[in-house]
């Protein structure tokens, strides 16, 4: 394992396929960044964004997908688990981490940002 | 270290799981308190306590005044804890001391202000003076009631203030509440719980549980015993809360994120604008939802502004929040710090120019802490992520613009719409710009100002609903409308009869307040009538024919000094435009009284003018049924025909070109105040008009008798009118100068008017309205031709009433069956018409036979048809009547 590798990104059942499906539908062949972001007023969360890998990024390949993370984000959050939720009125990716970035982790779902 | 427990059902308790967590001082990263960590069981217990307290009425059942007294006690207890609250808030949230010191003071003020408003100004009970439903007379009123169990979920940026914003309105409006503070800043809410207990607020009314939102949120937002959720926080979480709440249709108010634009116009006071831009962004380290984190600066002043703003930002002192010299304290947590740093990196990667800041700050004497320097990005493009996504830290994006329109467009190019500002030396210009921005609050030459009576909330993805002000109090109530039927009788209920074969409406109300003055030479009473009405400026409305006949001059002379003008352009078939034209003249002359001299067209126009003059706007604004709540411009009617009855009726009939039919104003308040029946005014009425207007009156009387709304008072009026018409019409036809007969005809028309204004008319009028609109057949002539045919159509449903009509017409009904007597009534009316020379066929008045089918379709939709004695629903039946009349 290189020093630029994220030790682990755990993909729960169906999450990898959902992400691949999204990228294929959009005709995108780029990595997915696990990023820290705000969606307004208090409480950051982790989300997925299509992005390019930069020199300082950590990365890992899981289920054929390349996941990248800024080392500072990894230092803050630790290992990340990605689930895909598909139920009535609620569809999207749920990211939780070894060290939760906010008390609302595991509550909301989000789409992949392009 | 201080210990804090959960507050559930009036007691401070440990978490059911026994778990605790530590709350840290963000300025030192050191723990300052140990707090019980609520889990699912605690959330359920709190909800159960709130539910029980609400349902018991121990709080919701109090009057607003009684609740105000208790809330005042609560405010007093907050005052007792003010110092402790300030210090705790400062240490727990990182607010600088000066800011934290305001919170208890503002909170006490909010409690007292809103409690007083709720007790003295809030419309808990509201009578509805006019319901808007003409078919169901009733007393209508609204009760506003508490919603029930409310959940308040608050963020960490202003923990105490947000607690007040949720606790205060919920309690004041009679609800119970479960408050969940943010896990990183739970302490001030728990101290407020102590104050609530000390104030004697009943057990279960206030509950405060601290714990992770991810675990508690599901319970709080889906529990069936929760009625309302008020959430302040991120849009992502707010969206999820709204979704969860929808399963049980809970009421939801959300105050979410923002990326507000602070617009600096080129005429702004530069020093003020720089201070405003810095305050708008860096106050409380930028951790405020409505911060002006996009500063839009006019290109004309950009360079000068940037130089000053950089200097000002660099002069801000970042330090420990309890140091009274600090301008900015730490960010609330390491996660917050990491996120801000992430966005600064993104901004650099996107090509924005970092002018100052962009780094952590080390505070002398403090090891650790989450301090960040005020950061300014210049040359930002509004499409950049740092311009679109909320950073929630001391980071501002400065964007250049050229015109006010461009500034507004940039401001609106955001998914958020929470706050915003305009700095300008020109208030009118600033207000124009403010009006263009789609956002919930706009500050002009200021920022971050909140006030208890001023509502706050977002447009677009910044939220739903409002907090503070009356609007905020309304969010904590539900509206119940109560209808008390005027008639507790099935047979007086028009709508119940849709399921009944009984089609008559038995109950009635008789309200005909017109002062009728009748007799030879009664015209001079008009000046006293005007004086008694308190008027001084009477405008005469009339038509060219009446003026030419010299009748208007008589009235003008009788009015003497009260008359301010004559408007004689009322057409034979008035439409909305003719009302507006007459109203314009009345406004110009500042008329305070309208005197109508003419037939039904003039009097109906005058009624509409009185309404439009009183209420403003145009005639088309007032085509309503039973909505007026006060007296209209006074109206004195002097009829010059003996038919319309309009001088005493509650209806004004006007043609609407837009609707392609006649529309009505119906209201007791449009009945003329005075009707003067001076026979001189009908002496010159030509024979043909005398006859057709008489048949209009006859139709009023007969249809009032056979209407489903007929009643004994109106029957009496109608029958006497029929007798008088039957006797006096031939006399007037024989000698138009027979003044006594003329007067009797006027009185008969007025009595028929009284009869139908309460009892309504029926199919003959519906059919007459239609051929009047489509083929310009004069109303009286149309009514006369159709009346006997409609009487026969109605015979099986109105035989008893038509028998009385026959008797009033002089028919000897002895030995006749009711059916035959009813038919005899129709025959008698036809005989009278023929004797008087009234046209008896539609073809004689220019109605084309091929148009009869379309007339039938229009007639069946006329309002008058609803009241016909025989139910009318088949246009083919109406066509058959038209054909019989053709």
Q: Output the DSSP codes for B663-677.
A: EEEE-GGGS-SEEEE
Active site residue B278: no
Q: Does B220 touch chain A (CB under 8 A)?
A: no
Q: Does B157 touch chain A (CB under 8 A)?
A: yes
Element containing residue B8 per DSSP (H, E): strand B6-8
pLDDT of A39 above 80? no
User: Reduced to 3 states, what is the DSSP secondary structure of residue B38?
Assistant: coil
Of A36, A100, A108, the CB nearest to B338: A36
Distance from CA of B364 to the nearest CA of A (A): 25
Distance from CA of B340 to the nearest CA of A (A): 9
Residue B625 DSSP class: B
CA max distance for chain A: 42
Distance from CA of B481 to the nearest CA of A (A): 33
What pLDDT does A3 receive?
66
Whether B183 sits inside 8 A of A103 (CB atoms) is yes
Q: Which residues are within 8 A (CB) of B113 and not within 5 positions of it... i.e. 6 or more apart? A: B452, B453
**Predicted confidence band at A8 (pLDDT cuts at 50, 70, 90)?**
confident
Stretch(es) of chain B classified as CATH 3.40.309.10? 261-449
What pLDDT does A89 receive?
78
User: Reduced to 3 states, what is the DSSP secondary structure of residue B809?
Assistant: coil
Whether B287 sits inside 8 A of A73 (CB atoms) is no
Whether B335 sits inside 8 A of A107 (CB atoms) is no
CA B787 to chain centre: 43
Element containing residue B141 per DSSP (H, E): strand B138-146
Whether A108 sits inside 8 A of B155 (CB atoms) is no
- Mean pLDDT estimate for chain A: 90
Q: Does B232 touch chain A (CB under 8 A)?
A: yes
The catalytic position among B150, B289, B535, B593 is B289
| Nearest one of B642, B621, B637, B660 to B570, comparing CA atoms | B637
Residue of chain A with shortest Cα separation from B341:
A72
The CATH architecture that domain B2-255 belongs to is 3-Layer(aba) Sandwich (3.40)
Instruction: Decide which of 1.10.10.10, 3.40.50.1970, 1.10.357.10, 3.30.70.360 is the CATH code for B513-685.
Output: 3.40.50.1970
Write the pLDDT tens digit of every residue in B167-215: 999 999 999 999 999 999 999 999 999 999 999 999 999 999 999 998 8
Distance from CA of B607 to the nearest CA of A (A): 56
Instruction: Decide which of 1.10.510.10, 3.40.50.460, 1.20.1090.10, 3.30.1360.40 is the CATH code for B689-886.
Output: 1.20.1090.10
Distance from CA of A57 to the nearest CA of B (A): 13
The catalytic position among B89, B140, B255, B703 is B255
Of A40, A76, A109, the CB nearest to B235: A40
Instruction: Count Cβ atoms within 10 A of the Cβ of residue B98 and give its class: 0-12 exposed, 13-18 middle, 19 or more buried.
Output: middle
Q: B300-332 as b/e, with b when 16 or more CB fall inside 10 Å?
A: ebbeebbebbbebbeebebbbbbbeebbbbbbb
CA dist list (Å): B666 to B310, B494, B650: 68, 18, 6
Whether A102 sits inside 8 A of B243 (CB atoms) is no
| Nearest one of B66, B38, B394 to B207, comparing CA atoms | B38
Active site residue B29: no
Which chain A residues are Cβ-neighbours of B162 within 8 angstroms?
Answer: none
* Side-chain-side CA neighbours of residue B106 (13 Å): 20
Of B237, B243, B339, the CB nearest to A104: B237
B179, B206 Cβ separation under 8 angstroms? yes
B851, B763 Cβ separation under 8 angstroms? no
Residues forming a β-bridge with B482: B141
Distance from CA of A22 to the nearest CA of B (A): 20
What pLDDT does B134 receive?
87
Cα–Cα distance for residue pair B714/B710, rounded to 1 Å = 7
Residue of chain B with shortest Cα separation from A102:
B335
Distance from CA of A100 to the nearest CA of B (A): 9
Which chain B residues are Cβ-neighbours of A70 within 8 angstroms?
Answer: 342, 345
What residue spans define the domains of chain A? 9-97
Q: Does B348 touch chain A (CB under 8 A)?
A: no
Q: pLDDT below 50 — which residues of chain B?
A: none
Write the pLDDT tens digit of every residue in B698-743: 999 999 999 999 999 999 999 999 999 999 999 999 999 999 999 9
A vs B, Cβ pairs < 8 A, gives: 118
Dihedral of CA B52/B58/B62/B66: which sign?
negative
Whether A39 sits inside 8 A of B416 (CB atoms) is no
Whether A108 sits inside 8 A of B391 (CB atoms) is no
Sheet holding B375-378, edge to edge: B353-356, B375-378, B395-401, B294-298, B261-264, B420-423, B443-444
Of A40, A44, A107, the CB nearest to B217: A107
**Predicted confidence band at A2 (pLDDT cuts at 50, 70, 90)?**
low
3-state secondary structure B734-773: HCCCCHHHHHHHHHHHHHHHHHHHHHCCCHHHHHHHHHHH
CA dist list (Å): B879 to B429, B696, B788, B791, B883: 63, 21, 15, 15, 6
Number of Cβ within 10 Å of residue A109's Cβ equals 21
> Which residues of chain A are at the B interface, by a Cβ-Cβ cutoff of 8 Å?
35-45, 54, 70, 72-73, 76, 89-90, 100-110
Whether A40 sits inside 8 A of B256 (CB atoms) is yes
ipTM summary value: 0.92
Q: Which tokens is B9 given?
A: 């059902």
**From the candidates B213, B219, B288, B345, which should be mutated to test the interface with A, based on the most A CB atoms within 10 A?**
B213
Element containing residue B359 per DSSP (H, E): none
Whether A72 sits inside 8 A of B256 (CB atoms) is no
Q: Does B394 touch chain A (CB under 8 A)?
A: no
The CATH architecture that domain A9-97 belongs to is Sandwich (2.60)
CA dihedral angle for residue B120, residue B121, residue B125, residue B131, rounded to 10 degrees: 150
User: Reduced to 3 states, what is the DSSP secondary structure of residue B355?
Assistant: strand
Whether B335 sits inside 8 A of A102 (CB atoms) is yes
DSSP letters for B820-875: HHHHHHHHHHHHHHHHHT----GGGGT--GGGHHHHHHHHTTSGGGGG-SS----H
Residue of chain B with shortest Cα separation from A41:
B257
Cα–Cα distance for residue pair B772/B694, rounded to 1 Å = 17
B722, B702 Cβ separation under 8 angstroms? yes
Q: B494-518 as b/e, with b when 16 or more CB fall inside 10 Å?
A: beebeeeeeebbeebeeebebebbb
Cα–Cα distance for residue pair B43/B49, rounded to 1 Å = 10
Of B182, B235, B339, the CB nearest to A36: B339
Stretch(es) of chain B classified as CATH 1.20.1090.10? 689-886
B487 φ, ψ to 5°? -120, 115
Q: H helices of B426-540, where?
A: 427-436, 469-474, 525-532
3-state secondary structure B551-606: HHHHHHHHHHHHEEEEECCCCCCCEHHHHHHHHHHHHHCCCCEEEEEECHHHHHHH
Of B213, B339, B391, the CB nearest to A104: B213
Element containing residue B112 per DSSP (H, E): helix B97-120
Residues forming a β-bridge with B637: B596, B675
The CATH architecture that domain B261-449 belongs to is 3-Layer(aba) Sandwich (3.40)
| Nearest one of B715, B714, B738 to B728, comparing CA atoms | B738
Number of Cβ within 10 Å of residue B379's Cβ equals 15
Write the pLDDT tens digit of every residue in A58-106: 999 999 999 999 998 999 999 999 999 998 778 999 999 999 999 999 8
Q: Does B345 touch chain A (CB under 8 A)?
A: yes
Which chain A residues are Cβ-neighbours of B155 within 8 angstroms?
Answer: 41-43
Q: Does B108 touch chain A (CB under 8 A)?
A: no
User: Reduced to 3 states, what is the DSSP secondary structure of residue B21?
Assistant: strand
What pLDDT does B101 receive?
95
Whether A38 sits inside 8 A of B389 (CB atoms) is yes
Cα–Cα distance for residue pair B29/B108, rounded to 1 Å = 30
pLDDT of A4 above 90? no
| Nearest one of B330, B230, B313 to B279, comparing CA atoms | B313
Whose tokens are 């598909």? That residue is A86
DSSP letters for B450-464: --TTS-B--EETTEE
Residue of chain A with shortest Cα separation from B233:
A41
């Amino acid at each position: 394992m290189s020093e630029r590798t994220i030790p682990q990104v755990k993909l729960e059942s169906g999450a990898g396929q959902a992400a691949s499906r999204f990228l294929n539908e959009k005709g995108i062949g780029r990595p997915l960044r696990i990023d820290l972001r705000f969606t307004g007023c208090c409480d950051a969360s982790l989300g997925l964004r299509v992005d390019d890998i930069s020199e300082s990024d950590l990365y890992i390949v899981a289920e054929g997908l390349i996941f990248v993370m800024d080392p500072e984000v990894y230092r803050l959050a630790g290992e990340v688990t990605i689930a895909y939720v598909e139920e009535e009125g609620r569809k999207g990716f749920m990211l939780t981490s070894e060290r939760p970035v906010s008390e609302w982790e595991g509550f909301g779902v989000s789409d992949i940002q392009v | 270290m201080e210990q804090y427990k959960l507050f559930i059902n009036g007691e401070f308790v440990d978490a059911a799981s026994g778990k605790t967590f530590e709350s840290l001082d963000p300025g030192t990263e050191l723990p300052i308190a140990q707090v019980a960590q609520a889990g699912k069981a605690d959330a359920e217990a709190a909800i159960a306590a709130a539910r029980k307290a609400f349902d018991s009425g121990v709080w919701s059942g109090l009057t607003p005044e009684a609740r105000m007294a208790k809330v005042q006690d609560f405010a007093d207890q907050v005052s007792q804890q003010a110092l402790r609250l300030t210090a705790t808030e400062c240490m727990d949230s990182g607010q600088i001391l000066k800011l934290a010191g305001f919170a208890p003071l503002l909170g006490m003020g909010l409690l007292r202000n809103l409690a007083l408003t709720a007790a003295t100004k809030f419309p808990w009970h509201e009578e509805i003076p006019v319901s808007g439903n003409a078919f169901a007379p009733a007393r209508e009123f609204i009760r506003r009631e508490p919603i029930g169990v409310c959940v308040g979920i608050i963020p960490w940026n202003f923990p105490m203030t947000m607690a007040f914003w949720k606790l205060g309105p919920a309690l004041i409006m009679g609800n119970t509440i479960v408050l969940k503070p943010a896990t990183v800043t739970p302490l001030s809410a728990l101290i407020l719980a102590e104050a609530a207990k000390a104030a004697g607020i009943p057990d279960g009314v206030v509950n405060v549980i601290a714990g992770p939102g991810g675990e508690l949120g599901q319970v709080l937002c889906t529990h069936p015993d929760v009625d309302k959720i008020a959430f302040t926080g991120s849009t992502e979480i707010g969206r999820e809360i709204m979704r969860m709440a929808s399963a049980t249709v809970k009421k939801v108010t959300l105050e979410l994120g923002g990326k507000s634009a602070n617009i600096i116009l080129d005429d702004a006071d530069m020093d003020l604008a720089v201070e405003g831009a810095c305050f708008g962004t860096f106050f409380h380290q930028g951790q405020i939802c409505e911060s002006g984190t996009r500063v839009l600066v006019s290109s004309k002043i950009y360079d000068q502004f940037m130089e000053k703003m950089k200097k000002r930002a660099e002069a801000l002192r970042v330090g420990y929040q309890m140091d009274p010299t600090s301008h900015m304290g730490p960010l609330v947590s390491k996660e917050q710090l990491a996120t801000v740093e992430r966005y600064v990196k993104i901004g650099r990667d996107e090509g924005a120019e970092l002018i100052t800041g962009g780094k952590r700050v080390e505070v002398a004497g403090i090891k650790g802490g989450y301090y960040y320097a005020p950061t300014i990005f210049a040359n930002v493009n509004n499409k950049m992520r740092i311009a679109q996504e909320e950073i929630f830290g001391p980071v501002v994006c400065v964007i250049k613009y050229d015109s006010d329109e461009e500034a507004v467009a940039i401001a609106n190019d955001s998914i958020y719409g929470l706050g915003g500002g305009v700095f300008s030396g020109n208030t009118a210009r600033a207000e124009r710009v403010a009006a263009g921005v789609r956002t919930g609050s706009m500050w002009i030459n200021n920022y971050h100002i909140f006030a208890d009576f001023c509502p706050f909330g977002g447009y677009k993805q910044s939220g739903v609903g409002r907090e503070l002000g009356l609007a905020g109090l309304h969010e904590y109530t539900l509206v119940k409308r109560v209808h008390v039927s005027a008639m507790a009788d099935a047979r007086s209920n028009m709508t119940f009869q849709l399921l009944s074969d009984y089609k008559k409406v038995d109950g009635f109300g008789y309200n005909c307040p017109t002062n009728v003055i009748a007799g030879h030479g009664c015209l001079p009473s008009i000046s006293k009538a005007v004086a008694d009405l308190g008027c001084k400026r009477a405008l005469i409305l009339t038509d060219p024919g009446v003026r030419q006949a010299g009748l208007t001059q008589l009235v003008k002379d009788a009015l003497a000094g009260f008359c301010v003008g004559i408007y004689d352009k009322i057409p034979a078939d008035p439409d909305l435009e003719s009302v507006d034209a007459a109203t314009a003249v009345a406004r110009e002359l500042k008329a305070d009284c309208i005197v109508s001299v003419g037939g039904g067209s003039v009097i109906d126009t005058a009624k509409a003018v009185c309404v439009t003059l009183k209420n403003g706007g145009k005639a088309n604004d007032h085509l309503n049924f039973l909505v007026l709540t006060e007296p209209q411009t006074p109206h004195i009617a002097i009829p010059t025909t003996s038919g319309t009855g309009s001088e005493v009726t509650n209806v004004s009939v006007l043609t609407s070109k837009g609707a392609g039919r006649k529309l009505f104003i119906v209201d007791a308040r449009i009945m003329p105040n005075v009707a003067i029946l001076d026979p001189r005014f009908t002496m010159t009425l030509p024979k043909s008009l005398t006859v057709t207007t008489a048949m209009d009156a006859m139709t009023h009387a007969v249809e009032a008798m056979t209407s489903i709304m007929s009643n004994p008072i109106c029957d009496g009026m109608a029958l006497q009118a029929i007798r008088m018409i039957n006797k006096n019409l031939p006399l007037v036809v024989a000698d138009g100068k027979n003044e006594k007969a003329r007067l009797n005809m006027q009185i008969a028309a007025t009595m028929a008017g009284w009869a139908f204004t309460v009892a309504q008319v029926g199919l003959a009028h519906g059919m007459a309205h239609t051929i009047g609109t489509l083929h310009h057949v004069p109303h009286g002539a149309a009514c006369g031709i159709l009346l006997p045919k409609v009487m026969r159509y109605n015979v099986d449903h109105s035989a008893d009433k038509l028998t009385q009509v026959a008797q009033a017409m002089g028919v000897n009904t002895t030995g006749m069956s009711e059916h035959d007597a009813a038919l005899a009534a129709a025959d008698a009316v036809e005989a009278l018409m023929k004797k008087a020379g009234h046209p008896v066929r539609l073809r004689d008045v220019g109605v084309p036979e091929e148009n009869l089918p379309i007339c039938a379709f229009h007639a069946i939709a006329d309002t008058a048809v609803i009241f016909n004695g025989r139910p009318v629903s088949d246009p083919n039946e109406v066509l058959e009547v038209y054909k019989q009349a053709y």
